Structure 1
Amino acid sequence: MKIATWNVNSIRIRQQQVSHWLQMNPVDVLCLQETKVIDADFPKMPFEELGYHLYISGQPSYNGVALLSRQPLEDVRIGFTQVLGVDDVLAATFDQQKRVISGIFHDVRIVNLYVPNGADLSSDKYAYKLQWLKMLRNYLTLFKENYPQELCVCGDFNVAPEDKDIHNPKGKETHIMATPQERKALQEVLEIGLKDAFRKFTAEGGHYSWWDYRSGGFQRNRGWRIDHHFLTPKLYEQATSCTIDIEPRKQEKPSDHTPVIVEF
């Protein structure tokens, strides 16, 4: 089984790139973030022609997540409220932004996330991000405690877990995606029983999944590792590889992120 995550930064702009990548890399499930399109306008046909089933949750211009699966998924759930309940007012507020979708593939619950960026430390968006991560912990805890499936929690987390996940960690304490508060919030999510698949196979730094468009970020490998697969222990033991495919980032007008693939 192969599961990939990829923030495509607009599926309509990069539909051909994603289609081509799937032809070259026919993963079982592809998790997309930042699709930036309402459901009715998602370019379904090219992916259906490749044999994929689509499950989407989008909004215009911002956010948006999708699951592309070679087999139909079971128990697809969109947003926090389909797990936490419609009476959870904060969850319903968070679900106004389309950032969460999950489904079951071969007894694995795949949770596809687009974690808020946070903007900067003085922004309301930063506080929103920290609250959102607390909500994520509650959401995943319910899955883990009440359902039998192993979890593959993947997506764009907008957090670099360690200094070696950043090309230059200088000033990290005040740099969005690496502040102690964000790392602590992510660690509290992982403490429910999730492990970093990439670090099972690659211990050293210098491997990134996102590069700023500015100042030749990719060409100079000035990147960040912020796209992740976090696995429950049994699934972690079954993982045979987790790799970052930098080839799509070399293309003309690419996404600023590139795919990360885990295999079991």
Structure 2
Amino acid sequence: MSAPLRIATVNVNGVRAAYRKGMGEWLAPRGIDILALQEVRAETDDLRALLGDEWDILHDPATAKGRAGVALASRRKAEIHRVTFGPDDFDSAGRWLEADYDVDGTLVTVVSTYVNSGEVDTPKQVEKYRFLDAMLVHLPALAAHNPLSLVVGDLNVGHRTLDIKNWRGNVKRAGFLPQERAYFDRFVGAEDDPDYNAGAGLGWVDVGRRWAGEVPGPYTWWSQRGQAFDTDTGWRIDYHLATPALAATVQNYTIDRAAAYDERWSDHAPVVVDYQI
């Protein structure tokens, strides 16, 4: 049996700053095959210089320089990649990047995505809903393209009360609004599952929740302010959403939470999953 395919995702909060703070020391020994990054906020040449020649790098920068940006870095060259997403008049630059990889003769499709953070009663929230609407349309097409597909990244929504430590204090804030959470009911609910949205789901699997079970967290993001990290007052907003066939191959799920506040190189922790393709 071949070694598992190790796929990691992390919002780096600026890749150059992350490397200055220790990202390279985390990455070097981790044995990752495909690395998805969000909030790159740098040029493609910067990524190549930081990661090194051993990585095949795909990068979709945001329209506004220094904002957002998503990337995929792999130990194997992508067969094909796509950045087109959503309606023609929707600017998804720097927020959706998908690629097909040949893994020992099996095609695996991986998406790195960064969903808008949103802000209640502002145009930012309108854009967030447009992005989530586009996901509802695109996810079935992605699964039809390849039954071994994976969407990873900072999705900026805590789906359930288990996903936010202080959920009661956030029910009226972007990231935990009922309308946002309903999209995730659709994403992960099965067509014949009455527990989510009256059986209207798309059937994708939240790998983190399936692996952890019905427990609080484990969280992937903590505010830089106050004692949020030290008290583990976090949010689980970084996901691996897999098609059922790919989810069935999961061997291990890990959140690489820093040992201490001053050892963090991002306000997000990497989410690392092994898939036995």
Indicate whether the TM-score tops 0.5.
Answer: yes
The alignment's TM-score, normalised by the length of structure 1, stands at 0.89
Q: Higher helix fraction: Structure 1 or Structure 2?
A: 1
Give 1:80 shift: 1.0
Pair 1:206–1:111, CA change in 2 (3 A): closer
Tell me the residue number matched to 1:10: 14
Give 1:144 shift: 1.7
Contact 1:64/1:99, CA 8 A, preserved across alignment:
yes
- The amino acid of 1:211's aligned partner reads W
- The amino acid of 1:94's aligned partner reads D
1:180 is aligned to 2:178: yes
Which among 18, 21, 38 is matched to residue 26 of structure 2? 21
CA distance in 2, matches of 1:74, 1:151: 14
Tell me the residue number matched to 1:94: 91
Tell me the residue number matched to 1:134: 133
Pair 1:108–1:23, CA change in 2 (3 A): same
Tell me the residue number matched to 2:191: none
- The size of the alignment, in residue pairs, is 251
CA distance in 1, matches of 2:248, 2:57: 29
Pair 1:249–1:89, CA change in 2 (3 A): farther
SS of structure 2 residue aligned to 1:208: coil
Structure 2, gaps ≥5 residues long: 189-200
Which among 232, 237, 251 is matched to residue 240 of structure 1? 251
Tell me the residue number matched to 1:195: 205
Contact 2:40/2:69, CA 8 A, preserved across alignment:
yes
Tell me the residue number matched to 1:163: 161
Give 1:247 shift: 2.0
CA distance in 2, matches of 1:131, 1:46: 33
Tell me the residue number matched to 1:114: 114
The alignment's TM-score, normalised by the length of structure 2, stands at 0.85
Contact 1:244/1:261, CA 8 A, preserved across alignment:
yes
SS of structure 2 residue aligned to 1:215: coil
Which among 244, 259, 268 is matched to residue 257 of structure 1? 268
Pair 1:250–1:173, CA change in 2 (3 A): closer
Give 1:43 shift: 3.2
Pair 1:129–1:72, CA change in 2 (3 A): same
Matches within 5 A, 1:224-239: 224-239=235-250
Contact 2:11/2:153, CA 8 A, preserved across alignment:
yes
- The amino acid of 2:67's aligned partner reads Y
Identity across matched positions, percent: 30
Give 1:171 shift: 3.2
- The amino acid of 1:136's aligned partner reads M
SS of structure 1 residue aligned to 2:15: coil
Contact 1:67/1:112, CA 8 A, preserved across alignment:
yes
Give 1:149 shift: 4.2
CA distance in 1, matches of 2:204, 2:66: 32
Matches within 5 A, 1:211-222: 211-222=222-233
Tell me the residue number matched to 1:123: 122
SS of structure 2 residue aligned to 1:32: strand
Contact 1:249/1:258, CA 8 A, preserved across alignment:
no
Give 1:253 shift: 6.0
Pair 1:255–1:141, CA change in 2 (3 A): same
Tell me the residue number matched to 2:56: 53
Contact 1:133/1:189, CA 8 A, preserved across alignment:
no
Matches within 5 A, 1:73-92: 73-80=78-85, 88-90=87-89
Tell me the residue number matched to 1:85: none
Structure 1, gaps ≥5 residues long: 82-87
Give 1:205 shift: 0.8
Give 1:249 shift: 6.7
